[in-house]
Structure 1
Amino acid sequence: MADLGLLIIRLVVGLTFIGHGAQKLFGWFGGPGLTNTGQWLESIGIKPGGKIWAICAGLFELVGGFFFAAGFLTWIGAGLISIIMIDAIFTVHGKNGYWAQEGGFEYNFVLIAIVIGVALIGPGQYVLFYTL
């Protein structure tokens, strides 16, 4: 049952990050796309090159989410997701305190704990590719 539990966690978190990356990179799922994400990043003080940072963020989410969901290079996927969440804490949510209802970093922190926890445990038996 632990392997099934890990699969559920990996799929929900990983596919969510794939979706977030696709929103930033391609404008899919009602997302803003690269130009708008870049403009938003510049509006919160991430200058110069908001569009370049939007590409980086989108790729970290897309690739990290894929690796995490697939159980392939799970540590790398967890690392990419953690980097994005740490960045979100420092650039957007940290100034608002801990609790999410105040715009704080609670959700980001929980996601970091989940992906690092799964990376430490291992992806479980149900993976797309086996790695050493």
Structure 2
Amino acid sequence: MMDISLLVLRLGIGIMFAAHGLQKAFGMFGGSGVQEFSKMLGGMGFPAPIMWAYLAAYVELLGGIALVFGIFPRLSSGLLLILIVVAAVKVHMKNGFFMMSGGFEYNFVIASVCIALLVAGAGKFSIYNKY
């Protein structure tokens, strides 16, 4: 049952991150694309915002895909955890906890799943455990 639970967590969080990565990298699913995302980061005071925009977009996209298939699950979870914590601190924390007011509630849940996968690994149903 634990392996099925890990598969469900990996699929859920992996698909979510991959979809957000596609929004940021290519403007898919109503996203703004990397240039607009870079402008947003620049407005928040990030140095070299275009570099951070590409890095965030591709960590989300590739990290999400890696989790779906169970490839390097701890590395992927760790990188995605860093990304979501930065988003919480730089964007959402000033708005309090609850999502309805723009708070970090959503980030907290996502970070919790990343930590669980970081600790537990991919489980039996993954490419990582096949080789």
Assess same fold via TM > 0.5: yes
Look up the match of 2:86: 87
Equivalent residue number for residue 19 of structure 1 = 19
Match runs of 1:1-132 below 5 Å: 1-47=1-47, 49-130=48-129
Identical columns (%): 37
Shift of 1:2: 2.1
| Cα RMSD, aligned residues only | 1.6
> How far 1:122 moved relative to its partner?
2.2
Q: Distance in 1 between matches of 2:116 and 2:35?
A: 34
Q: Residue 98 of structure 1 contacts residue 104 of structure 1 at CA under 8 Å; is this kept in 2?
A: yes
Q: Unaligned 5+ residue runs, structure 1?
A: none
Name the TM-score, length of structure 2 as normaliser: 0.91
CA distance in 2, matches of 1:83, 1:60: 10
Q: Which runs of 5+ in 2 are unaligned?
A: none
Distance in 2, Cα, partners of 1:128 & 1:106 = 31
Q: Deviations for 1:47-87, whole angstroms, at most 9, x for unmatched residues?
A: 3x222211011011112212222212111111111111111
SS of equivalent residue, structure 2 residue 125? coil
Q: In the TM superposition, what is the alpha-carbon distance from 1:92 to its structure 2 partner?
A: 0.3
1:126 is paired with a residue of what secondary structure?
coil
The structural deviation recorded for 1:131 is 6.9
Q: Which amino acid aligns with 2:46?
A: I
Partners of 1:74 and 1:116 in 2: how far apart? 11
Secondary structure of the residue aligned to 2:14 is: helix
